[in-house]
Structure formats: C-alpha cells, structure tokens
Copies of this chain bind each other. A is one copy, B any other.
Amino acid sequence: MTTASTGEPRWLSDEEQSVWRAYLHATTLMEDHLDRQLQRDAGMPHIYYGLLVQLSQAPRRQKRMTELAKDAKITRSRLSHAVARLEKSGWVRREDCPSDKRGQNAVLTDDGFEMLRRSAPGHVDAVRQAMFDRLTPEQVRSLGEIMQVVAAGLQPEGTDADLPWLR
C-alpha cells in the first residue's frame, strides 16, 4: 500500500513498541506450542489440523479447494501440497466436482474424522491452558474485538463490504 514516502516516519511510542514485542513473542510461542502439540498427538502441523477441522464442519464433510484455501487463509498452491500430504496419510481424499470439471472437492475420510475425534480433546485442552484459562472474561471479550478489527483490516480487499465496523 502506501510506503513511508511523505515526511517523517511515525515511529512507535514506547508503549506501542512494548505491546508489539509482546504480540510477536506471544504469537510465536503459541504457534510453536500448538505445532508441537499436534505434531506429537496427531502427526501433523497446526495448519493441517485446521484444514481437517474446516472439512469436518462443512456440509458433507467436503469443500471445494478454492473455498477451503480462502477459509483457511492460505494459497491454493499451499493447499494443493497440503491435501496431497493429507491424502497420503489417508485423512482426506479428492473427488471430482460434478458441476465444474476443473474443480476438486477435498473430502474428509472416516479415518480422518476419527483421528479428529480422538485428538480434539487434547487440542482444546492445549488452547485452554495457553490462553483462555489465563484470561479474565473481560480480556477474552476484548481480545475478540481486537482480533476482529485487525483481521478485517488485513482481509484481501472486497471483503470490506461485509465489515462496516472498520470505521
């Protein structure tokens, strides 16, 4: 977007710097933590797990590749590789889309669903311990609002129409 072209850059205040550092550290540690937890208990990185969760909640436990990529906020290329891997592990299979011969549906297999059922409690537990058990209800509410605002601002444009609260 705009690069700092006009005038002096607006540096971060001391408080902003400290908040930014805390944000980076917390998110880095959280990502590492969940990656390790899921690699250990489900044999896959966090993002792959997220894909399976998305599928498990979709109508017939399936989704078009592009839609899945958009919902999971990753590129189609990355999704192709990821689904190939999950397919090899037996947790997802591909099906041709009947209405569009270019299309593929990623389908959660029964094995995939079962694996999810088994590892979900441990994962929820990890999330709780790392985040929700440490925050007051007030903080949880506040975090939700903040993350909504940030996500909305970074949303690939066009989606802004859905988000009147951007300001």
Contacts and interface: CB of A to CB of B under 8 A. Distances in A.
Interface of A: 1-4, 9-12, 15-16, 18-20, 22-33, 41, 50, 73, 120-122, 124-125, 127-132, 134-135, 139-151, 153-155, 166-167
A146 B150 CA distance: 15
With most chain B CB atoms within 10 A of its CB, the pick from A2, A11, A23, A128 is A23
Given A19-B144, A135-B146, A140-B16, A125 B26 contact: no
Contacts of A27: 27, 30-31, 147
Given A4-B122, A26-B150, A30-B150, 19 more contacts: A2-B125, A2-B129, A9-B125, A15-B141, A18-B144, A19-B140, A20-B131, A22-B144, A23-B131, A23-B147, A25-B147, A25-B151, A26-B147, A29-B151, A135-B150, A139-B142, A139-B146, A139-B149, A142-B146
A10 B144 CA distance: 20
Contact of A135 (B9, B125, B149): B149
B125 A3 contact: yes
Given A29-B73, A124-B10, A131 B150 contact: yes
Main secondary structure of the interface of A (DSSP, over half): helix
Given A50-B24, A130-B153, A122 B3 contact: yes
Contact of A128 (B10, B19, B124): B10
